[in-house]
Amino acid sequence: MAQPVTRTPVHAPLLAPAPWVEERGAKIRITAVRTFLTAPHGCPHLVVRVETNEPGLYGLGCASDPQRTLAVRSVLDDYLSPMLTGRDPDDIEDIHRLLLNSAYWRGGSITGNALGGIDVALWDLKAKRLGAPLYSLFGGRVRTGAEAYTHVDGADEREIADQVAAARELGFRHVRVQAAVPGADTYGTGGATVDPDAVRARRVPWDSAAYVRTVPRILTRVRELVGDDVELLHDVHERLDPRQARDFLRRVEDAGLYFVEDLLAPEDAGHFARLHAVSPVPLAVGELFSDTAQFTALLDGPDIDFARIRVPTLGGLTPARKIAALCELRGVRLAPHGPADVSPVAQAATLALDVSSHAFGVQEAATFRPTVAEVFPGTVVPRGGLLVPSEVPGHGVDFDESAARRHPVPEPLEHDRWALLRNTDGSVQRP
Ligand code: GCO
Ligand code: MG
């Protein structure tokens, strides 16, 4: 008969406060770390609340990983949370290293998101204790707000150009443009030409050759139609191999893109140096990175132009700030990840980094459903293409538990969508 596997209680030295805490005589202690799942936008948002013995004092973080939600929640509830209870929340660097190394094996998006949820909550807590907006703990503000980019897509250049014009009307100076490839499942085109049910049934393939032939042509025509007065971005979503990527960059040169995002899968990151050396098209990479070493390998060159940090996945603001500092010293810009599967809590935390870093370039801005702000009061929305941080203490986004209960996560949770796609020859397409 199989033996049940039980968790041993947390080892005493991990529960002990850091050596200097008693001497400091700090009174505030963490009393609980709670996790909440909610889906006001349709995708699961995993919220982390670090509570303290001071009434009303808590910090909020986001550990959302739409593909591995329950695993991240288990890391938080079963492993990290017991190590935090009773601890002084002030020493964020110490706590980050302690939690990261407690498992011996570190890295990976599941650990990253769990740590990220706690880390952002601790920064929020610290800023609230000090009565300051979060950015002010990062050296203060260096800009009014973060330039944001929104998403548009379409079947042809006219449809796309109309949408770019509509985004311009709303004040966006940066627009991500995705173009459909007839008969192929192309990332970010919202089913413009293919039926999503057919994609799920694996009847629509991914066709790299058609994509490389078609999309640069459409993007170049969009540029002709919209003029130079707007920055255009494009996300390849890791769907090319290095040879195809070189070809794509050559063909897209005349579109004058602000950047091309995720040309290659992380496994092929060693090819960025060569692509960067041969093409004038700016390269953006990093939303899949869960380890700072993945960034440092590309920043040494530097082999990229924009670092797309996803704050929760990288392990929170503590590692993200280090990468931001390195970017500044290397002349690389930040273009943080911010689609709707990053909750408003992490969006606000990322914004604190954006407005306090000289390295900042542009921020991806989610267009949330109106219900999202009911669950997350203080959700930041772009105004005139700019995301402006709140002046309240902390990162400025709260969490309404009862509103969250009105938006439960749909069951069963979809966790496999990135494995659905196959190439025209039947092999699995790597996102
Ligand atoms: C982007 C993205 C995302 C990812 C998503 C995966 O906004 O640039 O690539 O939309 O696909 O976060 O869950
Ligand atoms: Mg992307």
Residues 116 and 161 in one domain: no
CA of 286 to the centre of ligand 2 (A): 9
CA of 292 to the centre of ligand 1 (A): 19
CA-nearest of 150, 148, 219 to 181 is: 219
Residues 60 and 195 in one domain: no
Contact 240, 208 (CB under 8 A): yes
Ligand nearest the Cα of residue 190 is: 1
Q: How far, CA to CA in Å, does 347 sit from each of 89, 112, 115, 131, 134?
A: 22, 16, 16, 20, 13
Would 185 be classed as within a structural domain? Answer: yes
> For residue 69, with 0-12 CB atoms within 10 Å meaning exposed, 13-18 middle and 19 or more buried, which class applies?
buried
- Of 137-151, 320-334, 409-423, the range with the lowest mean pLDDT is 409-423
pLDDT for 390: 96
Structure tokens, 164: 């770019």
Residues 142 and 126 in one domain: no
Checking if the pLDDT of 19 tops 90, the result is no
- With the most atoms of ligand 1 within 8 angstroms of its CB, the residue from 110, 314, 341, 350 to mutate is 341
For the chain, the domain total comes to 2
Residue 157 CB–ligand 1 contact under 6 Å: no
Q: Which residue has the tokens 């669950």?
A: 375
Would 429 be classed as within a structural domain? Answer: no
CA of 120 to the centre of ligand 1 (A): 20
Residue 163's contacts (CB-CB under 8 Å, 6 or more residues apart) are 152, 153, 154, 175
Residues 147 and 262 in one domain: yes
The number of residues making up the chain comes to 431
- Kindly report the protein residue whose alpha carbon is nearest to atom 3 of ligand 1: 339
Instruction: Report the C-alpha gap between 202 and 199 in whole angstroms.
Output: 5
Residues 113 and 43 in one domain: yes
Instruction: Report the C-alpha gap between 44 and 407 in whole angstroms.
Output: 10
Residue 91 CB–ligand 1 contact under 6 Å: no
Q: Domain ends where: 87, 110, 132?
A: 132
Q: Domain ends where: 99, 132, 165?
A: 132
Residues 215 and 282 in one domain: yes
Would 403 be classed as within a structural domain? Answer: no
> Can you give the CATH number for the domain in which 177 is found?
3.20.20.120
Would 414 be classed as within a structural domain? Answer: no
Q: Give catalytic residues, as residue numbers.
A: 187, 237
Phi-psi region of 150 (alpha: psi -120 to 50; beta: other; left: phi over 0): beta
> Can you give the CATH number for the domain in which 31 is found?
3.30.390.10
Contact 364, 335 (CB under 8 A): yes
Residues 69 and 99 in one domain: yes
- Of 8-12, 32-36, 132-136, the range with the lowest mean pLDDT is 8-12
Checking if the pLDDT of 419 tops 90, the result is no
Domain hosting 23: range is 6-132
pLDDT band at 429 (very low <50, low <70, confident <90, very high): confident
Checking if the pLDDT of 152 tops 80, the result is yes
Q: Domain ends where: 85, 114, 132?
A: 132
Would 300 be classed as within a structural domain? Answer: yes
Residues 16 and 57 in one domain: yes
Residue 243's contacts (CB-CB under 8 Å, 6 or more residues apart) are none
pLDDT for 96: 97
Residues 78 and 162 in one domain: no
Residue 44 CB–ligand 1 contact under 6 Å: no
CA of 233 to the centre of ligand 1 (A): 14
CA-nearest of 289, 321, 342 to 108 is: 289
Would 416 be classed as within a structural domain? Answer: no
Residues 104 and 204 in one domain: no
Would 405 be classed as within a structural domain? Answer: no
Contact 154, 160 (CB under 8 A): yes
Q: Which pLDDT tens digit goes with each residue over 155-205? A: 999 999 999 999 999 999 999 999 999 888 888 887 555 666 776 666 788
Q: Which pLDDT tens digit goes with each residue over 59-116? A: 999 999 999 999 999 999 999 999 999 999 999 999 999 999 998 998 899 999 999 9
Q: Which pLDDT tens digit goes with each residue over 295-324? A: 999 999 999 999 999 999 999 999 999 999
Ligand nearest the Cα of residue 313 is: 1
Ligand 1 nearest atom to the CA of residue 66, by list position: 13
What would the DSSP string read from start to end of 142-166? Answer: SSSSEEEEEEEEESSHHHHHHHHHH
- Kindly report the protein residue whose alpha carbon is nearest to atom 10 of ligand 1: 339
- What is the residue type of 33? V
CA-nearest of 378, 298, 311 to 349 is: 311
Q: What is the mean pLDDT of the chain?
A: 93
Residues 301 and 362 in one domain: yes
- H/E run at residue 198: helix 196-200
Ligand nearest the Cα of residue 68 is: 1
Ligand 1 nearest atom to the CA of residue 262, by list position: 9
pLDDT for 334: 98
- Kindly report the protein residue whose alpha carbon is nearest to atom 11 of ligand 1: 237
Residue 235 CB–ligand 1 contact under 6 Å: yes
The helix, strand and coil proportions of the chain, stated in percent and rounded to the nearest 5, come to 40, 15, 45
Residue 238 CB–ligand 1 contact under 6 Å: no
Checking if the pLDDT of 414 tops 90, the result is no
pLDDT for 338: 97
Checking if the pLDDT of 4 tops 80, the result is no
pLDDT band at 328 (very low <50, low <70, confident <90, very high): very high
Q: Which pLDDT tens digit goes with each residue over 220-260? A: 999 999 999 999 999 999 999 999 999 999 999 999 999 99
Residues 52 and 171 in one domain: no
Instruction: Report the C-alpha gap between 62 and 379 in whole angstroms.
Output: 13
Residue 237 CB–ligand 1 contact under 6 Å: yes
pLDDT for 183: 81
- The model's pTM: 0.95
CA of 339 to the centre of ligand 1 (A): 6
Residue 364 CB–ligand 1 contact under 6 Å: yes
pLDDT band at 412 (very low <50, low <70, confident <90, very high): confident
Contact 334, 345 (CB under 8 A): no
Would 265 be classed as within a structural domain? Answer: yes
